[in-house]
Chain A
Amino acid sequence: MYVAVKGGEAAIRNAHSLLADRRRGDRSVPALRLDQIVEQLALGVDRVMSEGSLYDLELAALAIVQARGDMIEAIFLVRAYRTTLPRFGYSNPIDTGAMLVERRVSATYKDLPGGQLLGPTFDYTHRLLDPELAAGANVAAPLRRETEAQAMPRVSAILAREGLIEPDGEMPQDHVPGDITREPLEFPMARDIRLQALSRGDEGFLLALGYSTQRGYARNHPFVGEIRIGEVELELDVPELPFAAPLGTVRVTECQMVNQFKGSAKAPPQFTRGYGLVFGQSERKAMAMALCDRALRASELGEDIIAAAQDEEFVISHSDNVQATGFVEHLKLPHYVDFQAELDLVRRMRAEYEARKNPAKVDEKREAAE
């Protein structure tokens, strides 16, 4: 006898209490503190801030622990919180030329004003698992630069002096920067909107697309003009004040990709640029973003659109991992009403198919039934 399936409420409650238990794990192991995550899983925190579009180390750490380390789930938690915050205004554009630089490398010049600074990088580490780290060995303090840092002009400014590279794009005087968190996306989109979408886009998705351009699907001959990581000042114009009010600093990674360009009907031969900017330290993401940005400028530069990475509607519509994971995972939800409708249709069509194939058999059956 069928008894209607009830008790969804209790099932959900119990599932969530089991989730809380599994999240905490063995109670004899000390619980993670948020400052431990902020300090020791900093790049994970950076990714959550970057794709969550909210610069808050503590909330990102909370999201990571609440999500049991599932990064997309953590990004989702942060997004769902940030979207409820009222908007007070928009800061002035940050000046990455005035960045307090911790890392800066250029692949186009051996040396340049301000020099190359490796900073805290995985590059040139040998990927050998470190048993001492597992044993909790003490870590020596790093060396510190003693002299004052010199000014570090951006590589794009150095190249621009010769006129070999396109200048920073100019927006019309009255252009108000868009905000993808406040306005629905429309295609085709201006580059400011596109860069915002790329900056919060999924690292893995952009990485794969950027990689595809390197393997010949819309190859754009990139060089890393410069990657810089460090702190930049945030300022807000307040109408009552005669100066911009400083809000504090944020850490960002900027990548300027320099791309060879043979010229087209629309533009002369020159170096063109792809741009990447993300919160925190994430070179992989900033570089992938710059490759995709350059690929997506195809129509602006008069290039043929031949590959996925150049297709704005395709790339931007599918780059958001919170949207993607939601829609893929919604297939778990019940669909029995629609499935029933399809079941009915398939049964009817199969009956007709059988009747066409074996008219005699169906007639026999009918006679027997009668």
Chain B
Amino acid sequence: MDTLFLMNSLWVMISAVLVILMIGGFILLETGSTRMKNAGHIAGKTILTFGISSIVFWAVGYGLIFGEGNSILGFSDFFYSGYDVEGLGLSGAVFFLFQLAFAGISLTIAFGGFAERAKLSVYLVFALLFSVLVYPFIAHWIWGGGWLAEHGKQDFAGSTVVHLTGAMAALAATILLKPRIGKFNKDGSANNIEGHNQVFTALSVLLLWVGWFGFNAGSTVSVDGAFFGFVALNTNLAAAAGTVAAMLISWIVLGKADVPMMLNGALAGLVAITASCAFVDTWASVIIGLIAGILVFYSIRFFESKKIDDPIFALSVHGTAGVWGTLSTGFFATPELATVGNPGLFYGGGLEQLGVQALGVVASGAFAFIVSFIILSIMKVTMKGLRVTEEEEIIGLDISEHGSYGYPELVNKEAAVKGSIEIPSTGNVPLSSQRPSVN
């Protein structure tokens, strides 16, 4: 057998494993950023919905994206049986698995907007419908030879396809679900419902950061010229720049080096470079990451000021940074690297590529949002609401949806100490008030 074929297959298989491990990153990210009483539920449903998404992708998703069809959707290769595809240059099964992982990530991102209040049944039904009616369309348009691919839309590893699509579904969900109990006060001010474990959140970022080498560098789907190394380098630089930028901007504006914000900056840098990692120079990666880190800070404040409760910041990290990342190639794509589409504005490409990128963002974003909104609205009527009852939300989804806590000893003890069920906190006790008063 051809050595290159085997090496390509091996590299993409490793990448698929890395991307699937990112599901673990999202488990830590989502549980760490939310409260203890929902931790078991969030961890469990993430695995479950990845299972659903895998089966749907095998049955129809892959065929809708990569099958023979028109510029809107593919219509062949359903129930994929593992055969090789001519001209692919690697094992068909490996390529399938790699693409399956992306579909799973997009769905997981979407569920960020559901956190801490959606019914388990809503997760199951939406996992199915999103995987058939939302993701395949956009993936086909850009990666499956659809109408945006014909325009030369640049989205190397999915700032739009995976991240923006997921974020738009999250936006539709969080609008329809409404904010969590205790998030906003009567006067419109927001409370900080702190996550229960910053260490989880930080580890999640590391896991995602490493996983992203599979996500981006693996998207070369070949070892040819070892180009994956350059893509990985750009990825790392943008993540690093996003981290530093978010920390700096939060220190400058708020006067504190905010840890969750810094972590969101790292992720925003990663999301932004996802579209452009193969098309831009290293210095541009640093700029793209820096801007993403600053954007995510203001985006989080913007959504909060609009009273949109985004528990794990999916809208800002994957949405806003996804939009910026997609547009960034329109500025920074170099003539040598732009194997798809044209060079960007700063390389004499004019506004053409930027226009294509903007069109892609608007069309994909609008499609994902509108279709998700319609699906969820219909579900809201037919399933008698998307949200658990207030009582269930207060006792936690671990108990209400699954019958046992992710942290049984700790949560039960807390309830016993308080003599009743937990009431959402409305602010943080400052360190100084926990000390004997000197003042």
Partners in one complex: no
Chain A residues engaging chain B, CB cutoff 8 angstroms: none
